[in-house]
Amino acid sequence: MHENTDHLEYIEVRKREQEENLLTDYQKLTRNQKRKLFWQISGIILLSGILITLILDFLENQTITWSRYTIVICTVLFLNTTMITFWYKKIALLFMGSFISTSALLLLLDIFQGSIGWGVKLGVPLLFAAYVVVFILISLIKAARQRGLNIIAYCLIASGLLSICTEGIISLQTINRFHIDWSIIVMGSVLPVALLLLFIHHRLKKITDLKRFFHI
């Protein structure tokens, strides 16, 4: 009897070893290791892109001209990849750092064009509005105890708010006053649906709570 037990344990051990051997090295990595691997590969690719375009530009023009666009864009992408990799749990810090780096990209693109234009006057405000709305959306999703139809409702409301912000910011730059027209239609279309979804979610949650209370 003891020998049969040992034999079965040996078979189980061998089976687990074979299953582990079938897994690739990547599959054996933890989530944190996978994120760091992605960051390293992204860094190598972006750095290679910077070096290649810089060398080609210098050999062709004996100075840095068009490659500065590649250098700036790749640098900002690497910064954002780094922040996502190491600050993925620090949402506020991640959004702040990403907004600053992306805004700097728009500013530098304006400078490369020889003037401060749409990047600062229009791009940065639109970017700020998008970051604020998305940050609030993610905060609501993270704070939600039960996730279901309420997440869809939050996304719909966020899309309506972003539409209003977009039209308002554009109107400030074009007609020098805050004016909204089509964005009201967007919000008016998504808001009833969002409220209905929130109502359904709330009702389903109450039914679930009653079932738990009565041990159904």
pLDDT per residue over 153-165, tens digit each? 999 999 999 999 9
Q: How many domains does the chain have?
A: 1
Q: Which pLDDT score is estimated for 113?
A: 80
Higher per-residue pLDDT: 146 or 151: 151
**131 closest CA partner among 167, 96, 171:** 96
Q: Which pLDDT score is estimated for 67?
A: 87
Q: Which residues contact 9 (CB under 8 A, 6 or more apart)?
A: none
DSSP state string for 185-203: HHHHHHHHHHHHHHHHHHH
Q: Is 0.95 surpassed by the pTM of this model?
A: no
Q: Which pLDDT score is estimated for 80?
A: 92
pLDDT per residue over 133-147, tens digit each? 999 999 998 888 888
What mean pLDDT do residues 82-102 have?
90
Q: How far is the C-alpha of 86 from the C-alpha of 102, rounded, in Å?
A: 18
> Is 8 part of any domain?
no
> Is 185 part of any domain?
yes
Say if residue 184's pLDDT is above 80. Answer: yes
Question: Contact, 193 vs 156, CB < 8 A?
Answer: yes
Range of the domain at 213: 144-216
pLDDT per residue over 189-214, tens digit each? 999 999 998 888 887 766 554 345 44
User: Range with the lowest mean pLDDT among 12-26, 29-43, 121-135, 187-201?
Assistant: 12-26
> Is 125 part of any domain?
no
> Is 120 part of any domain?
no
Q: Which pLDDT score is estimated for 18?
A: 59
> Is 179 part of any domain?
yes
Say if residue 179's pLDDT is above 80. Answer: yes
Which residue stretches of 62-181 are H helix?
67-86, 91-113, 118, 124-143, 149-174
What mean pLDDT do residues 71-92 have?
90
> Is 16 part of any domain?
no
> Is 212 part of any domain?
yes
Question: Contact, 24 vs 38, CB < 8 A?
Answer: no
Q: Which pLDDT score is estimated for 210?
A: 39
> Is 174 part of any domain?
yes
Range picked from 13-22, 106-115, 169-178 for highest mean pLDDT: 169-178
Burial of 183 (0-12, 13-18, 19+ CB in 10 A): buried
